[in-house]
Chains A and B, each alone.
Chain A
Amino acid sequence: MLTSAIDKDGIALVTIDMPGRSMNVIDWAFTDALRAEIDRLAADPAVTGIVLSSGKTSFIAGADLAIMNGMSGPGTSPASASERIRAMTDAFRAIETCGKPVVAAASGTALGGGLELMLACHCRIAARNDKARFGLPEVTLGILPGAGGTQRLPRVIGIEAALPLLLEGRRLTADEALALGILDELAEPEDLVAAAKRALQEGRVDASAPWDRKGFALPGPAITSEAASNIFLLANAKVRAAGQRNYPALEAILSCVYEGLRLPIDKALKVERQYFGHLVHGDVAQAMIRTQFFARQRLARVGRAGPDPDGALASACRSAMDAQAMRMLTEGMSPAFVGNAARIVGLARPPHLPGEDGATHERDRASLRPTGLRLLRAAALAAVAALERGDVASAVEADVHAIDAAGFPVWTGGPLSMIDTAGAAAFIEACRADGLEIPVGLAAMARDGGRFHPNEEAAA
């Protein structure tokens, strides 16, 4: 997995190459091996500097998402998840504080944990490679970069540039990453390792991170400045308006930066991994990882057709929500209230409603979210029926297509994931309270304690 070669100048070239995989990914075995290798090289007096490189055309694709499953479920807690991720945080911190200059030489893509690893190196060089992408896409799976990403990225490029990358998970080309200052240098692919060694030989690489040196100042506005306050004021509103608190990762990422940038790095990393522990242990992250990563990967592998907005599943979900919305109006809710309820649970498209009726009676705002969830439950029942009829081939496909074609909110992981998260029995009970009709198959599933997605499926 890791091989090291020390040249005549004492530069250790560490090559990451996971056997049997097309791309390197970070799992616990890799984390432990990396930590051991860094400790060994740091202790070897013959070693003057270290280059971290990849044996593949990409650097590291990210963390192996299978490890995220081990951080939730029976016997785990946010605290245990936070303690678990610490192995990775500490391994990366060991690179940063090993006392010798470390250069990351990326042949290609470095995402998630891969970019976090690069950020812990003292210098980052990437090959000119049109296919390479750099970014921290954790947020798209309901988690955050928990191995230093929320702390080191703003320390490298400033709060203002870092926040959108952390909150949107956007992937950058090598040129964009260079322009932003995430990368220090680009090299021709065949010259990559030599360029990394040159940086060391020419003494261009400090053996410590800027934030571990005295007098470190954040690029851009200081975290305590009025400018930074304004950035957070607006960012808080933006994520709230966009996510309506359905995506706890957004708030957590902002808090990691807001709180962590005020702290020395080791305390900051602790804040980050505690927020991470809460997220990864939570239902939203587990549902998003299941659907947005594993389900989509599987559908792509078996070559299934993409979602069809006019297809049977999407139409059934939408008409179920429209019918439910009409029922709500007859119960005396205003169109505005129903529209806000749909928005609050993150429905990408509000149900069809007649125009404003000028209803003025006020409803208890505590019933807003339950009203939105009722719309989602109506659509979920329609998805169950569509699956029973064979309109979709699998639960996985139903979830993905409901999100893509019917605007079902991503945070749920799709309608069937939503039922699994609640548990079929609890879900049915809520539907009964809404006055919704329960399909026979679902009632049977609830009796047997069944699920749409087997527990271990996510790890498949």
Chain B
Amino acid sequence: MPDALIYDHLRTPRGRGKPDGALHEVTPIRLATTVLEAVRDRNALDTGLVDDVVMGIVMPVGEQGQCLPRVAAIAAGYAEETAGVQINRFCASGLEACNVAAAKVMAGQADMMVAGGVESMSRIPILSDGGAWGTDPQVAAATSFVPQGISADLIATKWGYSREDVDAYAVESHRRAARAWSEDRFAGSIVPVHDRVGEVLLARDETIRGNSTPEDLARLKPSFAALGEKAGFDAIALERYPDFAGIRHVHHAGNSSGIVDGAAAVLMGTREAGKRAGLAPRARIRAFAEIGSEPTIMLTAPSFAAEKALKRAGMNVSDIDLFEINEAFAAVAMRFIEALDLDPEAVNVNGGAIAMGHPLGATGAMILGTALDELERTGKQTALVTLCVGAGMGVATVIERI
């Protein structure tokens, strides 16, 4: 079986996903072409070698619809032969894109791939794509649908994370992200986004608050209390978790992943294809896994996915030097750390989505890159990257430097 090797990766900075965000004026396809052009240009890549562009997009509608990766590839001037495909596994789409690309390479059915993702949440808001899950009455009932924020609060309830605990986690995420920027740890992988006349629109992640304090966060109101208590979602959650008298609503704007815009690209291929392109491999995909879990608590699968991927790789938790877990909500990351009994100092060492945001389709590819850069910076070998996923899923990927 050929190895799937990572040759390069890069990402845009993440812009606040609101009309006043720096990337709001940039179309999602231009976010995608920005990273496609950058990964080609800095590797002097003959795009004729690239079989496919696989990108995660979670709201593939409107200007973000229509098999954007193929259209972006030709708009970016890639060879006609380079195909494109959009995939959606909710929040893990960006990592899933990498796994799908790796799988094609490992199966001998592709030589060179670009994986990644894009999401302009300021332009195509979450829930723009409709869907049956929470809205079709039969489906919502059969699946005991609750929104993610309720699930996150349910995790905090079940494992006893207090408001102070989750807020402390969030403060640390901001602190680490700010430190990473001040030490230029992301510099090698950031592609600034420019406006039409070449002025830089955004060169750094926009939502980091390095001086955020627990006192600041304590002032924020829980975001999901009304949905839980007034709209009735708590009652649905308690039906599945009946040993609790109520749900502890601890998540808010400051300890949940930020809504942001951004894109990422990862260049992958076989050893031979890399040679042909004159590139040196940076890491190898050791194994990956996806898994389903109880859909009402929904966001607890990262540890299960991690265990499954590790088993496939023939590795133990202790074989992993570095972990990246998407900070969809503080409790998700805290539960992951607790479930695998990890050292918090080895997890999200450069902050996460609470500080920098979670551009749904792109995040998985972004944090895969963050993990690789950090391995290189610290001279470590192995990393595990994972995300929780809507409807109760998890995806995990294990990489190893070469």
**A, B: real partners:** yes
A contacts, CB < 8 Å to B: 224, 226, 229, 232-238, 240-242, 244-245, 251, 254-255, 258, 334-337, 339-341, 343-344, 356, 359-363, 365, 368
User: Most A CB atoms within 10 A — which of B135, B141, B232, B235?
Assistant: B135
Compute how far the CA of A335 lies from the CA of B238 in the bound complex, rounded to whole angstroms. 13
Query: Smallest distance from the beta carbon of B224 to chain A beta carbons, Å?
Result: 12
CB pairs A–B below 8 angstroms (10 shown): A232-B137, A237-B145, A238-B231, A251-B137, A258-B137, A335-B245, A336-B244, A337-B242, A340-B238, A344-B242
State whether A244 and B239 are in contact (beta carbons under 8 Å apart), knowing that A232-B137, A233-B135, A236-B141 are contacts in the complex.
Answer: yes
| Chain B stretch 225-279: residues in CB contact (< 8 A) with chain A | 231-236, 238-245
Q: Which residue on A lies nearest to B131, using beta carbons?
A: A229
Q: Which residues of B contact A (CB under 8 A)?
A: 127-128, 130-131, 134-138, 140-141, 145-146, 231-236, 238-245
- A368-B245 Cα distance, complex, nearest whole Å: 13
Closest to B130 in A: A229
Q: Is the CB of B135 within 8 A of A365?
A: no
In the complex with contacts A226-B128, A229-B130, A241-B232, A236-B243 CB distance below 8 A? no
- Give the docked Cα–Cα distance between A343 and B242 (Å): 10
Given contacts A226-B127, A232-B135, A258-B136, contact A237 B242 (CB under 8 A): no
Contact A226 B130 (CB under 8 A): yes
Question: Which residues from B are CB-within-8-Å of A226?
Answer: 127-128, 130
Distance in angstroms from B154 CB to nearest chain A CB is 13
Asked if residues B231 and A363 are in contact (CB atoms below 8 Å), the reply is no
Residues from chain A with a CB closer than 8 A to the CB of B240 are 365
Say yes or no: A343 contacts B135, CB within 8 Å.
Answer: no
Among A229, A344, A363, which residue has its beta carbon within 8 angstroms of that of B243? A363
* Chain A contacts for B241, CB-based, 8 A: 365
Is B130 a contact partner of A340 (Cβ separation < 8 A)? no
Is the contact region of chain A dominated by helix, strand, or loop, or is it mixed?
A: helix
Is there contact, CB below 8 Å, between A240 and B130? Answer: no
- Cβ contact within 8 Å between B231 and A340: no
For the complex of A and B, the 7 pairs showing the least CB-CB separation, nearest first, are A241-B232, A254-B137, A241-B235, A340-B242, A336-B245, A236-B140, A237-B232
Least Cβ–Cβ distance between A159 and chain B, in angstroms: 12
Residues B231 and A368 in contact, CB atoms below 8 Å apart: no
What separation, in Å, do the CA atoms of A361 and B244 have in the docked complex?
11
**A residues near B234, Cβ cutoff 8 Å:** 241
For the A-B complex with A233-B140, A336-B242, A343-B235 known, give 8 more contacts whose Cβ atoms are closer than 8 Å: A229-B130, A232-B134, A233-B135, A240-B232, A241-B231, A241-B233, A336-B245, A365-B240
CB distance B242 to A236 under 8 Å? no
Partner among A237, A258, A337 whose Cβ is within 8 Å of the Cβ of B236: A237
Q: Are B243 and A362 in contact (CB under 8 A)?
A: yes
In-complex Cβ contact of A255 among B137, B145, B239 (8 A): B137
Is B235 in contact with A240, judged by CB distance below 8 angstroms? yes
Q: How far is the CA of A416 from the CA of B140 in the complex (A)?
A: 32
In the bound complex, how far is the Cα of B134 from the Cα of A340, in angstroms? 23
Whether the Cβ atoms of A236 and B135 lie closer than 8 Å is: yes
Question: Contacts A237-B236, A238-B232 hold; do A251 and B141 have CB atoms under 8 A apart?
Answer: yes
Alpha-carbon separation in the docked complex, A136 to B234 (Å): 30
B152–chain A nearest beta-carbon distance, Å: 17
CB distance from A377 to the nearest CB of B (A): 19
State A251–B138 Cα separation when bound (angstroms): 7
A363 surroundings in chain B (CB, below 8 A): 242-243
Cα separation A359 to B242 with both chains bound (whole Å): 12
The answer for the CA separation of A258 and B136 in the assembled complex, in Å, is 7
B135→A341 contact, CB < 8 A: no
- Contacting pair A344 B239 (CB below 8 A): yes
Bound Cα distance from A334 to B232, whole angstroms: 22
Chain A proximity of B74: nearest CB distance (Å): 31
Q: How far is the CB of B297 from chain A (nearest CB, A)?
A: 11
Q: Which residues of A contact B242 (CB under 8 A)?
A: 336-337, 340-341, 344, 363, 365, 368
Pairwise interchain contact B140-A240, C-beta atoms closer than 8 A? yes
Given known A-B contacts A240-B140, A242-B232, A258 and B243 have beta carbons under 8 A apart: no
With contacts A226-B130, A336-B244, A340-B239 taken as known, whether A237 is within 8 angstroms of B233 at the C-beta atoms is yes
Residue pair A356, B135 in contact (C-beta under 8 Å):
no
Cβ contacts under 8 Å, A238 to chain B: 231-232
Query: Knowing A334-B243, A340-B242, A363-B242 touch, does A234 contact B141 (C-beta < 8 A)?
Result: no
CA of A338 to CA of B130, assembled, Å: 37
Contact A236 B137 (CB under 8 A): yes
Give CA–CA (A224, B132) in the complex, Å. 11
Chain B residues with CB below 8 A from A337, complex form: 242-243
Interface core residue of A224, A335, A362 (most chain B CB under 10 Å): A362
Complex CA distance for A356 and B238, rounded to whole angstroms: 15
Interface pair B239/A236, CB less than 8 Å apart: no
